[in-house]
């Protein structure tokens, strides 16, 4: 019983860490190095979608213009998706301050 509980706690902690994604980089000060290139498709159909594209079909490896998350955009961009849409566009991040 103790082993099962320990295993569950470790699994939950691991999922929590991986779910942080880019937010973890923001809080640790780690530089965002996203290239916007993402894998799309399975086996022989696997392709790479370029920055500004998202994977429209995992089965056929089809990339289309737009984004479904920040991962589809360059490091200095964010994916803006309107409330009624499922696909957005990559837009430059707003500059909030200057560095000297």
Residue 15 lies in a domain: no
Within a domain: 89? yes
The total of structural domains in the chain comes to: 1
Task: Give, in order, the Cα–Cα distances in Å from 92 to each of 67, 73, 80, 86, 87.
Answer: 13, 9, 10, 19, 17
Q: Is residue 3 part of a domain?
A: no
At 78, is the secondary structure helix, strand, or coil? strand
Residue 40 lies in a domain: yes
Q: Give pLDDT tens digits for 44-93.
A: 889 999 999 999 999 999 999 999 999 999 999 999 999 999 999 999 99
Q: What six digits make up the tokens of 42?
A: 């399975």
Q: Tens digit of pLDDT for each residue in 5-54? A: 444 444 444 333 333 344 444 445 677 889 999 999 988 889 999 999 99
Q: What angle do CA 67, 52, 81 make, to 5 degrees?
A: 30
| Inside any domain, residue 78 | yes
Query: What is the DSSP secondary structure assignment for residue 92, as one 8-state letter?
Result: E
Which structural domain, as residue segments, surrounds residue 78?
A: 34-94
Answer whether residue 59 is part of any domain.
yes
Q: How far is CA 40 from the centre of its chain?
A: 13
Q: Which pLDDT belongs to residue 28? A: 55
Domain for residue 54, yes or no? yes
pLDDT of residue 55: 97
């Amino acid at each position: 019983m103790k082993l099962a509980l320990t295993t569950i706690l470790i699994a939950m902690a691991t999922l929590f860490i991986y779910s942080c994604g880019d937010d973890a980089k923001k809080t640790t000060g780690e530089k965002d190095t996203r290239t916007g290139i993402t894998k799309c498709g399975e086996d022989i159909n696997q392709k790479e979608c370029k920055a500004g594209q998202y994977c429209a079909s995992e089965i056929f490896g089809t990339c289309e213009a737009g984004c479904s998350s920040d991962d589809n955009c360059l490091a200095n961009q964010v994916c803006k998706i309107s409330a009624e849409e499922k696909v957005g566009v990559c837009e430059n991040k707003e500059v909030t301050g200057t560095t000297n």
